[in-house]
Amino acid sequence: MKLTVIGYWGAYPEQESATSCYLLESNGFTCIVDCGSGALSRLQKYVNLMDIDAVVLSHYHNDHVADIGVLQYSWLVQNAIHQTEKVLPIYGHAEDQEKFNDLTHNYTKGMEYDPKNGLEIGPFRFKFQKTSHPAPCYAMRITNGEKTIVYTADTSYMSNLVSFSEGADLILAECSFYEHQDGGKAGHMNSKECGELARKANVPELILSHLPHFGELNQLVEEVENYYSGDVQLAKEGLTWGD
């Protein structure tokens, strides 16, 4: 399983970059997790848009879904150009029915996931864990049978993320704040909480993403290293993990 970071900012994208979007590939199957602002433009450096087999969304905040609308237009245009009728499944929860309905368009189909049951898509199995966030949001535990990634999505620190993450090979964690800041009320984690999560779950590698627009980002890594002895790095576009 290969992960490629496409977008890694929280809230909005800085120049030449995107908010939350991750490319997962295994056995020739291509899945996008979240599709934030700027994602569609950046994605095309790494994948042909019509080669995407599925999209899975954690929640409906704009920094995770802003480019769904233009993804839908790209499939409309590309299907017309190539005289094809390909339909892209977009998986999301249905706790916000209006937002869920927006996932369906001419050539995309909204597919409801039941967080209790998880999902099988191509070679991937997804388990979900509701997070602590102002909008209904789900962390994902994703495996292809060989490697396992936990994506925290957006959340404040919750102890049940520890058990959810145990045994994974990588945690892809949202890290919206520095150690001295409390992100809990906003539904986000700080660097210390990311480090504690990875340590308590005994996961060997941690990637910090959903990054803030202030401070020295490398400080986030230094702060995590005070609580976690595994491998930690900042997300950036094009960063890959696995193969």
Residues that bind Zn ion (CB under 5 A): 61, 63, 154
Name the residue nearer to Zn ion (CB basis): 61 or 99.
Answer: 61
Task: Report, in Å, the least distance between residue 74 CB and Zn ion.
Answer: 23
Task: Report, in Å, the least distance between residue 38 CB and Zn ion.
Answer: 13
- Coil, helix or strand for 233? strand
Name the residue nearer to Zn ion (CB basis): 154 or 193.
Answer: 154
Name the residue nearer to Zn ion (CB basis): 63 or 196.
Answer: 63
For residue 75, give the nearest of 42, 92, 53 by alpha carbon: 53
Name the residue nearer to Zn ion (CB basis): 102 or 154.
Answer: 154
Task: Report, in Å, the least distance between residue 233 CB and Zn ion.
Answer: 20
Task: Report, in Å, the least distance between residue 28 CB and Zn ion.
Answer: 30
Spatial separation of the C-alpha atoms in residues 195 and 176, rounded to whole Å: 13
Spatial separation of the C-alpha atoms in residues 20 and 37, rounded to whole Å: 8
User: Number of helices (H) and strands (E), helices first, in the chain?
Assistant: 7, 14
Q: Which residues contact 43 (CB under 8 A, 6 or more apart)?
A: 6, 21, 23, 32, 49
Name the residue nearer to Zn ion (CB basis): 61 or 192.
Answer: 61
Contact call for residues 232 and 195 (beta carbons, < 8 A): yes
Task: Report, in Å, the least distance between residue 61 CB and Zn ion.
Answer: 3
